[in-house]
Amino acid sequence: MPQAAPEGGPAPSRFRRRLRNVLLAVDSWIDSSIYNGGVGLRSGWDSFVAFTERFNVQGPGRWAISLASEGMTWGAVGAVLMLALAVPAFRETSDDWLKRAELSVTFLDRYGNTIGERGIRHNDTVPLEEFPDHLIKAVLATEDRRFYEHFGIDIPGTFRAVLSNARAGGVVQGGSSLTQQLAKNLFLSNERTLERKIKEAFLALWLEFHLTKNQILKLYLDRAYMGGGAFGVDAASQYYFGKSARDVNLAEAAMLAGLFKAPSRFAPHVNLPAARGRASVVLDNLVDAGFMTEGQVFGARRNPATPVDRKQDDLPEYYLDFAFDQVKRIVDKLPKDFAERSFIVRTALDPNIQKAADTAIRDSLKQFGKDYGASQSAMVVMEPNGAVRAMVGGRDYGESQFNRATDALRQPGSSFKPYVYTAALMTGKFKPQTIVVDGPICIGNWCPQNYGRSYAGSITLINALTRSLNTVAVKLAEAIGRGRIVDLAHAMGVKSELKITRALPLGAAEVTVLDQATGYAVFASGGLSVDPHAVVEMRTPAGEPVWSFAQNGPKPHQVIPPEIIAMINPMLNSVVENGTGRRAMIPGTKVSGKTGTTNAYRDAWFVGFTGNYVGAIWFGNDDYASTRKMTGGSLPAMTWQKVMAFAHQGIEIKPTPGLGNQPAPVLDGAVAQASPLQIDGVQRPVTLSPAAAERLMALSARLREAAAQPVRRPTAAADPSPVTGVALTGAN
């Protein structure tokens, strides 16, 4: 028989009983707490209801309290809604909004002469008190007569505009205050949406809180777009009338004030009758607002403003586009606390070489373009240090603003071979006199052939490059590796992506004209790296230095050893004097370079250099259509020779690195006859050397600094000049 369990039971049973009792106690506590809480809440609510019954209002007072309560409720909802609408508007002011402005750049050539502008025309240096009174009145009478009376939003003016527009059945009068217009100009776009109008209203209130009325008016006069690329009244006055806003008369002020509404429609250089009609409306506004009498505006009505003639000579537009892109990159790297957005930029442009390049390309296409089936060309001329002296991006900027010198990717053909030969020489396994075999070669199913479909057999490297043999270039690439060629080309300044293919050594990868000019500039610089640049120095309109290439630009480093330059440059000189580039020879100057022609004659190149300049030129068609058997040694070399022969007039001819002082070859026959030293019958004027130009610009900068210094008055103890009697103190 089983024995009975001892008293108290086993330990596991006792533990379960205790746990059950604890859980029952917790459950009981929760139930009682919920019940007691409910009773307490009900009792509290009954007490609150009984308390509020004491304030029960009967009769008319009840309605007043109800209305006030509803008003507070909807007011709270409205406040939350306004805050929700205001937050997106105030986000527009998160960065340094007062310093926002587009770039305004005036470009000078290397001699300090103005050559053009880019960006906006903007000048905010005229203080408000120096604007003529009639100009201020004309603006306020037309844009916001109650400007000094409202808080940023002119409510009566808005209702008046709504009624006028309703009567007319269209928009005939604007309801935005001057502050609202400024808010739109500073922070918003011109889109006509309800969201933009709401943001505009909030931002107007924000401006009124942060700025004085005069500060708002000054910003409006400086930031509003006035047509013709001009922002601000003073820039517009300079552009349309050739004078500062300080000096405009009433008729000119009325025409300027009329531009705020629709500058594209009323700009005087676009539609002078419309501009004068709008100015007449501004004069009416002056009289209607009580700012002037009819007698005071009578003279302006009888003698309307006449803008200056804006017809300009040809400008180096492609060069200016290139320079402006560089300025934008420089400005992006300036410290964030730098607020200036207007600059005077001196470039490396030589206007004489630029004109020679424009003329030579235009004449070549006009004379030979149809025969060769070529419709476009591009050229870059630079110094061996990378300073771009001239740039042609196409035959006509008016027809196409696409810059073929910097943006068009074209196959360079055999003009790419110098990178192949240089990479081979740098391995130490090859020399210019190394014998290689020019014979058939196949890589897979690809079997390149020479231009004449024949082979030279055993031949030296220098002769192979002179004759531009394709098979030798392919064999060199196979021997050293194509990756080595790509790395060298990039190190020499070729920015375009170079895809490694079997045809890479024959120029199958696409590059730009600027790439080729930069790469060959390394040969001309003695193997130093080159950074192509148009910008030499940047200053503020007040003359303060901002950036200079000499101080802030990249410093050159050795890319190709001098001993390799001493090998490759004579090889490239042999191409010109003994090979495919003979039409590029210049009297009295040693020229090195390489021609290039691509499959189906789609692209024709000549890239060459001397001790003074590097030039790259391309001919072809935008649609990649084939030319009529144009080679790099024909029209490209001829045109290159015209430009560079002109560029080398009147200057000291520098020796080419690696060539020493070898005498220039004597030109004969057709080569000599194809060497005109004049462009449009005008011989190139004597030019300054780079060092002389730098000294001249430094002197100009010191004169500007001296002019800005306060005049020191002579003291009684100063010794008078024996000649003029003027005191000489402070003359150091």
Query: pLDDT tens, 143-188?
Result: 888 888 887 787 776 666 666 655 655 544 556 888 888 877 776 6
- From CA 358, how far away is CA 356, in angstroms rounded? 6
Q: How many CA atoms lie within 13 A of 502 on its CB side?
A: 9
Which run of H or of E encompasses 562? helix 562-578
Residue 715 clears pLDDT 70, i.e. is over it:
no
What stretches of 263-406 show up as alpha helix (H) in DSSP? 263-266, 272-288, 294-302, 317-332, 351-364, 370-372
Is beta strand 230-231 parallel, antiparallel or unpaired with respect to 121-122?
Answer: parallel
The per-residue pLDDT for 488 is 98
CA 123 distance to own-chain centroid: 19
End-to-end CA distance of the chain: 132
| Average pLDDT of span 632-641 | 97
Residue 497 clears pLDDT 90, i.e. is over it:
yes
pLDDT digits (tens, 9 = 90+) for 529-571: 999 999 999 999 888 999 999 999 999 999 999 999 999 999 9
Burial of 197 by CB count in 10 Å (0-12 exposed, 13-18 middle, 19+ buried)? middle
**Structure confidence at residue 632 as a pLDDT band (50, 70, 90):** very high
Tokens of 365: 């296409």
CA 138 distance to own-chain centroid: 35
- In terms of pLDDT, which residue wins out, 378 or 51? 378
* Sole residue written with tokens 């139930």: 31
Look at phi and psi of residue 232 and say left if phi exceeds 0, alpha if psi is from -120 to 50, else beta: left
Burial 12-25 (b: 16+ CB within 10 A, else e): eeeeeeeeeeeeee
The per-residue pLDDT for 176 is 81
| Average pLDDT of span 474-493 | 97
**Structure confidence at residue 324 as a pLDDT band (50, 70, 90):** very high
The per-residue pLDDT for 700 is 63
pLDDT digits (tens, 9 = 90+) for 353-402: 999 999 999 999 999 999 999 999 999 999 999 999 999 999 988 788 89
The per-residue pLDDT for 711 is 45
Residue 40 clears pLDDT 50, i.e. is over it:
yes
The per-residue pLDDT for 725 is 31
Among the listed ranges 15-24, 173-182, 249-258, 587-596, which one has the minimum average pLDDT value? 173-182
- In terms of pLDDT, which residue wins out, 531 or 87? 531
**Structure confidence at residue 677 as a pLDDT band (50, 70, 90):** very low
Among the listed ranges 80-89, 390-399, 637-646, 648-657, which one has the minimum average pLDDT value? 80-89
The per-residue pLDDT for 199 is 73
- From CA 633, how far away is CA 638, in angstroms rounded? 8
| Average pLDDT of span 483-488 | 97
Tokens of 153: 């939003």
Residue 58 clears pLDDT 80, i.e. is over it:
no
| Average pLDDT of span 44-63 | 72
- From CA 580, how far away is CA 60, in angstroms rounded? 108
The per-residue pLDDT for 152 is 77
- In terms of pLDDT, which residue wins out, 193 or 318? 318
Please give the model's pTM, rounded to 2 decimal places.
0.68
List residues bridging with 382 in a β-sheet: 388, 614
| Average pLDDT of span 101-106 | 79
- In terms of pLDDT, which residue wins out, 84 or 483? 483
Among the listed ranges 82-91, 236-245, 509-518, 531-540, which one has the minimum average pLDDT value? 82-91
Residue 710 clears pLDDT 60, i.e. is over it:
no
Q: Which of 89-93, 577-581, 719-723: highest mean pLDDT?
A: 577-581
Q: What percent of the chain has pLDDT over 90?
A: 55
The per-residue pLDDT for 309 is 78
Residue 55 clears pLDDT 50, i.e. is over it:
yes
What's the mean pLDDT when you consider all of the chain? 84
CB-based contacts of 727: which residues, under 8 Å, 6+ apart? 714, 715, 718, 719, 720, 721
The per-residue pLDDT for 717 is 35
- In terms of pLDDT, which residue wins out, 677 or 122? 122
Among the listed ranges 464-478, 550-564, 684-698, which one has the minimum average pLDDT value? 684-698
- From CA 237, how far away is CA 249, in angstroms rounded? 11
- From CA 450, how far away is CA 472, in angstroms rounded? 9
The per-residue pLDDT for 37 is 87
**Under a CB-based contact definition with an 8 Å cutoff, are residues 235 and 224 in contact?**
no
**Structure confidence at residue 100 as a pLDDT band (50, 70, 90):** low
**Under a CB-based contact definition with an 8 Å cutoff, are residues 693 and 110 in contact?**
yes
Helix (H, G, I), strand (E, B) or coil at 605: strand
Tokens of 273: 């009758």
Residue 713 clears pLDDT 60, i.e. is over it:
no
Kindly give the interhelix angle for 213-223 and 233-241, rounded to the nearest 10 degrees: 40
Helix (H, G, I), strand (E, B) or coil at 511: strand
Tokens of 37: 């809480």
The per-residue pLDDT for 82 is 58
User: Can you state the percent helix, strand and coil of the chain, rounding each to 5?
Assistant: 50, 10, 40
Helix (H, G, I), strand (E, B) or coil at 443: strand
Tokens of 729: 């103190």
Tokens of 336: 């964030």
Residue 720 clears pLDDT 50, i.e. is over it:
no
Burial of 221 by CB count in 10 Å (0-12 exposed, 13-18 middle, 19+ buried)? buried
pLDDT digits (tens, 9 = 90+) for 401-449: 899 999 999 999 999 999 999 999 999 999 999 999 999 999 999 999 9
Q: What are phi and psi of 510, to 5 degrees?
A: -95, 140
- From CA 343, how far away is CA 327, in angstroms rounded? 9
Residue 189 clears pLDDT 90, i.e. is over it:
no
CA 548 distance to own-chain centroid: 17
The per-residue pLDDT for 32 is 87
List residues bridging with 378 in a β-sheet: 618
| Rg over CA atoms, the chain | 39
pLDDT digits (tens, 9 = 90+) for 259-302: 988 887 898 988 899 999 999 999 999 999 999 999 999 999 99
